[in-house]
Amino acid sequence: MKFKLTPFRTVVCIGACFALNGCLSSTPHWDQTFGDSIHQVTAMQVLNPQAGQNDDPVNGIDGSAANSLMANYDKSFTAPPPPMNMFTIGVGAPSGSSSGN
């Protein structure tokens, strides 16, 4: 079965589209309040709104320690640790229950 688009069908489809377009309603209330919820949630998540006016330095780790920490963290992803041999785990190592006391 072959679908054939005749001029009559085209006119009917275009007319139906125009008729259904008149049924649509606008949303002025939704358009006025669009984005208000995200602004409210963002404002609720701010701990101290005046934090930018504070000139005191932040307590924490110094810069050189933070740099070495991040370098070690980044390096841990470049070379994964070697896989452990499952047959040698616990062999030859003293256990905690037999300490010899």
Task: Please answer whether residues 61 and 69 qualify as being in contact, where contact means their C-beta atoms are separated by less than 8 angstroms.
Answer: yes
State the pLDDT at residue 76.
84
15 within a domain of the structure (yes/no): yes
In total, how many domains does the chain have?
1
State the pLDDT at residue 71.
92
72 within a domain of the structure (yes/no): yes
State the pLDDT at residue 93.
56
58 within a domain of the structure (yes/no): yes
State the pLDDT at residue 38.
93
Residue 64 belongs to domain spanning: 4-77
State the pLDDT at residue 58.
76
Query: Which residues of the chain carry a pLDDT beneath 50?
Result: none
State the pLDDT at residue 96.
55
37 within a domain of the structure (yes/no): yes
DSSP strand E in the chain: where?
Answer: none
State the pLDDT at residue 70.
93
Q: List the structure tokens of 61.
A: 């780790």
